[in-house]
Amino acid sequence: MTAVGGPRRALVTGAASGVGRACVAALRERSYAVAALDLEPADMEADHIGSCDVSDIEGVTAAVEEARAALGGLDAAAHCAGIHPERAANLHELDPQTWERIVAVNLTGSYAFTRAVLPALIETRGALVLVASISGSQPRPGTAAYAASKAGVTALARAAALEYAHLGVRVNSVSPGWIDTAMAAAALGRPSTRERIERDIPAGRAATPEDVASVIVWLLSDEARYVTGADIVVDGGLAISALAQRS
């Protein structure tokens, strides 16, 4: 369990930007001690900062162990690292290298992180959140590798939830829609495209990183102590609106 009298301890990947960076800030606001991992670590307010390529399974294990030692244990973990294809490509035009890289980072990276962090979370009966996407259930044309990898993340979280619930470990995923981050800048950075996208979102705008981080932090907290195996959609109503339009 958490050290007596000490803060809860959390580990965040993809922590240098976007949702990961927002998670670090939100956790620290709630008095967590936070370890931040990223492929290219940036200046940020964290108790431990480390470098980690999530597609490198051995490297992930080493980075998690280093973070665990730096904080004296882990009570919570959020896996926010991920990539999106630079351009849309239908399946017959999707080169194997792009497929392999996206699956390696998004899906194998989630496996590597989950595998590495579980022993620490078992010790503390902690919680883990993996970041998936609504693309996993409602893919857009030209994004097969991304959609398949994110569908796998949701399934991985559910499988882990089943396997570790009896040990007191909770595992959930979140599935965002459009988020106003660098990853979405190619689309949201064009005013006409942004207007079209946001017109389809019932909430009327793309999410901020903080919108998604707040849900992740809630899932990691004791307020969500009876929630495991869930996938929380954070998309401003986009997915359900798309389903309604098809019916």
Catalytic machinery residues: 146
User: What is the Cα–Cα distance from 77 to 68, expressed in whole angstroms?
Assistant: 11
Gyration radius from the chain CA atoms: 17
User: What is the Cα–Cα distance from 199 to 203, expressed in whole angstroms?
Assistant: 9
Which of 115-120's residues contact partners 24+ apart within 8 Å by CB, and which partners?
115/57, 115/61, 116/60, 116/61, 116/63, 116/64, 116/65, 117/11, 117/64, 117/74, 117/77, 118/160, 118/164, 118/169, 120/64, 120/68, 120/73, 120/74, 120/77
CB 132 within 8 A of CB 153: yes
